[in-house]
């Protein structure tokens, strides 16, 4: 076991607490850099989506995980970023300009949403952000001169320094990866600055934060703006990746998916956003795989356990029929959300920490280390 | 003028449905401080149960109705036991996510069992209209309005006059203190979920002739019921119905007098305005924050 001796505050807020971190993240980065030359084009495409979802996940973590302001409206910010890119691209605005413009515009709109949200907490905030997202969705469908309505907009391949970057090229992947890494590093820096400390203070107790001199209103609006701006940047990449955007892509469903990203990953650490993004993006190919191969595998197992070939065939067709049922994906989503909330509230990263601690303290690990405290007394209405 | 009255009545009927779903939100919120995002889906499931009893098994409408309400009350208890009870006392956001997950699950399962077609239940009110002068009122809409009024009154009396209702209000204010006072908090919560699922079923069955039953009906109407509950002040039973009626009227007026597109957005614009100007709603209690 490693003991870290910290002698001053600078030691405590180091990005890499010890050399192990440098090695691990260095290896990870190297793997990610050689990925486009090793993996199949389908997996690369999924990896780009992981980068985009993880960027949104980090944005949502800043707002929900660290400032404690739940939002079910992030699909709207993503949409605003995507549509800004598509609209400006029509007028031959260069990529770096509309990339930043999309971030700026979304940030401003985020701040505007943040102002009314100042008076709201808990469930009211969730409902308000849902309404905001629904209104944005309707505006996108109706403001035809700009958004082309329900017909959607084509997005041309982005061009960087005069060179076209197709959406399935390694360069596009590196761009997405760079945005993700910069976002993560930027967010880590933000979180160890006074602003980030203020965010966490607001999450833990608004009243306590205020009495310590934190300007709660200012920091909440800041948190909304930063989170929205990052989501807007991700939206630009999202638009380029899909090469076609229409209002029905940015529904409440997508907002819920973003929340699932951080819920499944873990809401207390940036690792959670990345793990959750991998989970959400990979669940689709995994379900397809199950649908294609599962019936055969189950029939094989049944056959080895002495079922006749006729029974095995029967089982195979039944499982296949079940796997191709409409809406199975929704049911699996629902079950996953409920199971994570009930049994793994700290998410995948929390599970990883538990496993790590188990081996570090080998015979002395206690379950209660990660136990959450239940609070029955508090009525949120009177808080 | 006639158009206006016609729109008003259909708005009130629609609003009563929102009100009924909002009642379900409010009941659960009043008793457990939990917001049930699957309320609309419970309504959808209730409608499907009623369809199974009435449409497929050919039972009498009223028997089928009662059967669906009873079955859904049991289902509400089951959902509470499995999904909500283990996480009572944890931050509200976990519970919201759990109920969202439950909603997803119910929607897909209903789609698998009953298919994705629009289903219809034959009711005694399906046909026939009431004519007052040149005003034409359909019985199915009037039945929704009447049922909402009755249910709202019953629930209001239940919460404010009976011992069980008082126990529910007590356990919502402070679960631990209520438990020390001898209130069986777990059973109270369970009963509240049963009642709210039963109310949702009433909404689903009454709505069946108007919007038909399909697996997404709960999501659509559930989202419209939020503005209703917030407008009335989350936690007030008459408020939920009044809020629902207001939202319904606003929606149908916006659909009639404003350009296309406003109809779907109007409830949310109202909601945001209310949240900004008067977050405690029309009938809500305003309480100072405590440390």
pLDDT tier at A92, thresholds 50, 70, 90: confident
Closest residue in A to B100 (Cα–Cα): A334
Considering just the CA atoms, what is the radius of gyration of chain B in Å? 19
User: A121 or A62, which is more confident?
Assistant: A62
Q: What is the pTM of this model?
A: 0.88
Closest residue in B to A207 (Cα–Cα): B291
Show Cβ contacts of residue A3 under 8 Å, excluding neighbours closer than 6 positions. none
Mean pLDDT, rounded, of chain A: 86
Chain A hits for B261, Cβ within 8 Å: 138, 141-142
Listed by number, the residues of chain A in 213-232 with a beta carbon closer than 8 Å to a beta carbon of chain B are none
Chain B hits for A120, Cβ within 8 Å: 275, 279
SS3 call for A294: helix
- What integer pLDDT is reported at residue B286 of this predicted model? 55
- What integer pLDDT is reported at residue B185 of this predicted model? 86
Show Cβ contacts of residue B28 under 8 Å, excluding neighbours closer than 6 positions. B34, B35, B36, B39, B192, B193, B196
The answer, yes or no, to whether residue B290 has pLDDT greater than 60, is no
Report d(CA B84, CA B183) in Å as an integer: 19
Report d(CA B98, CA A224) in Å as an integer: 24
Counting one residue from chain A and one from chain B, the pairs whose CB atoms sit within 8 A come to 154
pLDDT tier at B285, thresholds 50, 70, 90: low
- What integer pLDDT is reported at residue A1 of this predicted model? 64
Q: In Å, how far are A74, A221, B67, B196, B216 from B41, measured between CA atoms? A: 23, 34, 18, 12, 8
Closest residue in A to B111 (Cα–Cα): A327
Closest residue in A to B95 (Cα–Cα): A341
Closest residue in B to A379 (Cα–Cα): B173
The answer, yes or no, to whether residue B133 has pLDDT greater than 50, is yes
Judge whether A283 is closer than 8 Å to chain B, CB to CB: no
What's the mean pLDDT in A12-24? 85
What's the mean pLDDT in A51-59? 94
Considering just the CA atoms, what is the radius of gyration of chain A in Å? 23
CB contact under 8 A, B112 and A331: yes
| Closest listed residue to residue B199, CA positions, set B32, B55, B36 | B36
Show Cβ contacts of residue B128 under 8 Å, excluding neighbours closer than 6 positions. B138, B139
User: B30 or A200, which is more confident?
Assistant: A200
Q: In Å, how far are A377, B37, B72, B107 from B43, measured between CA atoms? A: 31, 12, 9, 11
Judge whether A210 is closer than 8 Å to chain B, CB to CB: no
Rounded to a whole number, what is the distance in Å from the CA of B147 to chain A's nearest CA? 27
User: A66 or A120, which is more confident?
Assistant: A66
pLDDT tier at A377, thresholds 50, 70, 90: low
The answer, yes or no, to whether residue A51 has pLDDT greater than 90, is yes
Residues in chain A: 383
Q: How many CB atoms lie within 10 A of CB B139?
A: 17
Chain B hits for A371, Cβ within 8 Å: none
pLDDT tier at A380, thresholds 50, 70, 90: low
First to last CA, chain A: 43
CB contact under 8 A, B285 and A381: yes
| Closest listed residue to residue B96, CA positions, set A260, A376, A272, A116 | A260
Instruction: Write out pLDDT tens, residues B256-268.
Output: 888 877 888 888 8
What is the token pair recorded at A58? 């980090």
Chain A hits for B106, Cβ within 8 Å: 334
Report d(CA B214, CA B226) in Å as an integer: 20
CB contact under 8 A, A123 and B234: yes
Closest residue in A to B264 (Cα–Cα): A138
H or E element in which residue A165 lies: strand A163-165
pLDDT tier at A383, thresholds 50, 70, 90: very low
Q: Is A97 exposed, middle or buried (0-12, 13-18, 19+ CB in 10 A)?
A: exposed
Closest residue in A to B87 (Cα–Cα): A342
pLDDT tier at A176, thresholds 50, 70, 90: very high
The answer, yes or no, to whether residue A363 has pLDDT greater than 90, is no
Place of tokens 């009963």: B191
Pairing of strands A158-160, A163-165: antiparallel
- What integer pLDDT is reported at residue A382 of this predicted model? 47
What is the token pair recorded at A77? 């910010």
Listed by number, the residues of chain A in 7-66 with a beta carbon closer than 8 Å to a beta carbon of chain B are 64
Judge whether A127 is closer than 8 Å to chain B, CB to CB: yes
Rounded to a whole number, what is the distance in Å from the CA of A199 to chain B's nearest CA? 18
Judge whether A135 is closer than 8 Å to chain B, CB to CB: yes
Mutation test of the interface with chain B: which of A124, A267, A336, A345, choosing the one with the most B Cβ atoms within 10 A? A124
SS3 of chain B: the string is: CHHHHHHHHHHHHHHHHHHHHHHHHHHHHHHHCCCCCCHHHHHHHHHHHHHHHHHHCCCCHHHHHHHHHHHHHHHHHHHHHHHHHHHCCCCHHHHHHHHHHHHHHHHHHHHHHHCCCCECCCCCCCCCEEEECCEEEEHHHHHHHHHHHHHHHHHHHHHHHCHHHHHHHHHHHCHHHHHHCCCCHHHHHHHHHHHHHHHHHHHHHHHHHHHCECCCHHHHHHHHHHHHHHHHCCCCHHHHHHHHHHHHHHHHHHHHHCCCCHHHHHHHHHHHHHHHHCCCCCCCCCCCCCC
The answer, yes or no, to whether residue B115 has pLDDT greater than 90, is no
Judge whether A254 is closer than 8 Å to chain B, CB to CB: no
pLDDT tier at A378, thresholds 50, 70, 90: low
What's the mean pLDDT in B213-219? 81
Chain A hits for B93, Cβ within 8 Å: 64, 70, 122, 126
Residues in chain B: 291
Mutation test of the interface with chain B: which of A123, A144, A268, A346, choosing the one with the most B Cβ atoms within 10 A? A123
CB contact under 8 A, B275 and A119: yes
Closest residue in B to A325 (Cα–Cα): B112
Q: How many CB atoms lie within 10 A of CB A247?
A: 22
Q: What is the ipTM of this complex?
A: 0.85
What is the token pair recorded at B11? 């708005």
Contact A239, A48 (CB under 8 A): no
Instruction: Write out pLDDT tens, residues A218-237.
Output: 999 999 999 999 999 999 99
- What integer pLDDT is reported at residue A56 of this predicted model? 94
- Nearest CB to B98 within list A64, A132, A341: A341
Q: What are the start-end ranges of the H helices in chain A? A: 9-12, 19-38, 41-60, 74-90, 95-117, 122-142, 144-147, 170-191, 194-204, 206-211, 216-242, 252-265, 270-304, 309-323, 328-343, 347-360
Judge whether A122 is closer than 8 Å to chain B, CB to CB: yes
Rounded to a whole number, what is the distance in Å from the CA of A5 to chain B's nearest CA? 34
**Distance from the Cα of residue A351 to its chain's centroid:** 18
- Nearest CB to A326 within list B95, B112, B230: B112
Report d(CA A381, CA A120) in Å as an integer: 12
């Amino acid at each position: 076991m490693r003991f870290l001796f910290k002698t001053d505050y600078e030691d405590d807020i180091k990005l890499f607490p010890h050399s192990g971190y440098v090695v691990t993240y260095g290896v990870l980065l190297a793997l990610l850099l050689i990925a486009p030359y090793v993996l199949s084009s389908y997996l690369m495409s999924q990896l780009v989506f992981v980068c985009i979802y993880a960027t949104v996940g980090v944005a949502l973590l800043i707002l929900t995980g660290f400032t404690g302001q739940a939002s079910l409206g992030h699909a709207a910010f993503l949409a605003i970023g995507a549509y800004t890119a598509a609209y400006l691209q029509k007028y031959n605005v260069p990529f770096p300009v509309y990339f930043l413009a999309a971030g700026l515009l979304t940030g401003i709109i985020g701040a505007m949403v943040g102002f009314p949200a100042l008076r709201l907490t808990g469930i009211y905030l969730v409902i308000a952000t849902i309404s905001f997202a629904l209104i944005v969705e309707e505006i996108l469908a109706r403001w035809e001169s700009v958004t082309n309505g329900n017909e959607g907009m084509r997005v041309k391949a982005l061009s960087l320094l005069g060179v076209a970057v197709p959406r399935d090229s390694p360069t596009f992947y590196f761009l997405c990866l760079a945005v993700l890494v910069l976002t993560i590093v930027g967010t880590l820096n933000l979180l160890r600055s006074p602003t980030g400390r203020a965010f966490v203070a607001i999450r833990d107790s608004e009243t306590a934060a205020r009495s310590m001199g934190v300007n709660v209103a200012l920091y909440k609006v800041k948190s909304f703006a930063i989170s929205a701006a990052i989501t807007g940047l991700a939206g630009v990449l999202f638009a380029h990746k899909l090469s076609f955007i229409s209002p029905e892509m940015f529904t409440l469903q997508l907002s819920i998916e973003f929340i699932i990203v951080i819920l499944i990953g873990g809401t207390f650490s940036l690792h959670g956003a990345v793990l959750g993004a991998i989970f959400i993006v990979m669940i689709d190919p995994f379900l397809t795989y199950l649908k294609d191969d599962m019936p055969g595998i189950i029939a094989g197992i049944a056959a080895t356990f002495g079922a006749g070939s006729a029974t095995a065939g029967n089982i195979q067709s039944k499982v296949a029929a079940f796997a191709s049922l409409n809406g199975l994906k929704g049911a699996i989503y629902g079950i996953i959300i409920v199971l994570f909330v009930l049994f793994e509230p700290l998410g995948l990263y929390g599970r990883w920490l538990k496993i790590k601690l188990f081996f570090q303290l080998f015979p002395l690990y206690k379950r209660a280390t990660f136990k959450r405290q239940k609070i029955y007394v508090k009525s949120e209405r009177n808080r | 003028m006639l158009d206006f009255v016609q729109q008003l009545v259909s708005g009130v009927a629609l609003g009563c449905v929102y009100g009924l779903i909002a009642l379900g939100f409010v009941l659960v919120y009043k008793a457990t401080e939990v917001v049930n995002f699957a309320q609309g889906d419970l309504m959808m499931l209730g409608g499907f149960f009623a369809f199974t009893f009435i449409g497929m098994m050919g039972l009498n409408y009223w028997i089928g109705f009662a059967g669906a309400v009873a079955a859904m009350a049991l289902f509400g208890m089951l959902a509470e036991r499995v999904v909500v009870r283990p996480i009572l006392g944890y931050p509200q956001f976990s519970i919201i996510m759990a109920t969202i997950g439950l909603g997803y699950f119910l929607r897909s399962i209903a789609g698998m069992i009953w298919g994705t077609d629009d289903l219809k239940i034959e009711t005694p009110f399906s046909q026939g209209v009431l004519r007052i002068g040149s005003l034409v009122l359909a019985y199915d809409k009037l039945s929704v309005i009447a049922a909402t009024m009755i249910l709202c009154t019953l629930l209001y009396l239940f919460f404010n006059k009976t011992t069980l209702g008082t126990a529910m209000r007590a356990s919502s204010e402070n679960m631990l203190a209520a438990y020390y006072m001898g209130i069986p908090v777990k059973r109270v919560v369970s009963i509240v979920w049963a009642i709210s699922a039963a109310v949702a079923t009433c909404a689903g069955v009454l709505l069946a002739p108007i919007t038909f039953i399909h697996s997404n009906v709960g999501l659509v109407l559930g989202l419209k019921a939020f503005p209703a509950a917030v407008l009335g002040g989350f936690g007030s039973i008459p408020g939920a119905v009044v809020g629902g009626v207001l939202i319904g009227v606003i929606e149908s007026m916006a659909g009639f007098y404003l350009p296309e597109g406003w109809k779907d957005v109007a409830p949310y614009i109202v909601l945001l305005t209310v949240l900004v100007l008067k977050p405690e709603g029309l009938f809500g209690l305003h309480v100072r924050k405590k440390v």
